[in-house]
Amino acid sequence: MRAIEFFSGIGGWRYALGHRGTVSRAFDISPGANATYAHNHGDRPLDREIATLDPDLIAGLKADTWLMSPPCQPFCRMGAHRGLEDLRSRAFLHLMDLMTILPPDHLVLENVVGFLGSQAHELLCSRLRAEKMHWREFQLCPTGFGIPNLRPRVYLVASRRPLPALPLPVLTRPPLAVFLDPLEDCSLYLSSEQSAQHGPGLALVRPEDDISACFIGGYGKRFVGSGPFLRTPQGIRRFSPREVARLMGLPSGFDFPESLGRTQRYKLLGNGLSIPVAQWVITHLFPC
């Protein structure tokens, strides 16, 4: 399998694909995401606006698979729900145009639950139908994959081949304690003023809990609604980027370039993929 990773971020789809295929090219416009991708995967994504990608460039990659997590803001529960009219959908629309002239053999997509039933979803399904492709859609959360963190998302996997019906894993969730750093970073703690001001609205958890709220990109800046905060005998603290990475199922070797500050790290992780879930989805393309 030779894949193109569109909207590549930190390369979640590449981790999920693993050794089962290669990524011939990744595309993203975020310098921080591209630096992190290069730091971990070796090669740097092309810093290109996907809405302007030339068909010849895509054809030249000779890829058979498209992996993608398009921007979710147009479909987010909290956003303006502008869907395809949102300017951030231009890149997705361009890919849907490219699909009519360069249809891949396989396609995998992840997005927020609001994507289901949207015009964008309809458009994608119409392209798959026109190509007589088979596809399966799932609403999945890492809590069903042994991870004590909520991240409900829609996944769609499509192929020219019929897709198997794979059983969902049956896994129990360990407590959050398993995902915590061995040594605490004091700078993660909220000040007593911050705890007094925001504490009542926070999604507080304890190390022994086996569930926690979803991390969003603004976790490093915002308090209420941005993700879980940990209550310990010392007070209330944020999860460290490394702890968030573990809860996303990123491999232990995953790291950020030194130059990226904590807020940027949270942003990239909050935009990312749950790797165990993405791996299960992509397995549909590799039946034993």
What whole-number distance in Å separates Cα of residue 62 and Cα of residue 201? 50
Which ranges of the chain would DSSP assign to H, the alpha helix?
12-17, 31-41, 55-60, 90-101, 119-130, 192-198, 241-247, 262-270, 275-283
Residue whose CB is less far from ligand SAM, 148 or 270: 270
Nearer to ligand SAM, 228 or 249 (CB): 249
Report the alpha-carbon distance of residue 223 to residue 265 in Å, rounded: 16
Interface residue list for ligand SAM (CB under 6 A): 7-13, 27-30, 33, 49-51, 69, 71-72, 91, 271-273
- Residue with Cβ nearer ligand SAM (230 or 247): 247
CB of 17 to ligand SAM, least distance (A): 11
31-41 helix and 262-270 helix, angle to the nearest 10 degrees = 80
| Shortest distance (Å) from residue 68 CB to ligand SAM | 8
- Give residue 88's Cα distance to chain centre: 17
Shortest Cβ distance from residue 141 to ligand SAM (Å)? Answer: 16
Nearest residue to 3 via CA among 288, 285, 287: 285
> Quick one: 153 or 237, whose CB is closer to ligand SAM?
153
Residues 255-278 as b or e (16 or more Cβ within 10 Å = b): bbeeebebebbbbbbbbbbbbbbb
Judged by beta carbon, residue 202 or residue 248, the one nearer ligand SAM is: 248
CB of 197 to ligand SAM, least distance (A): 30
Residue nearest to ligand SAM (CB): 9
CA distances from 34 to 27, 38, 87, 184 (A): 9, 6, 22, 29
| Smallest separation, CB 13 to ligand SAM (Å) | 6
Active-site residues, by number, are 72
Q: How many CB atoms lie within 10 A of CB 215?
A: 26
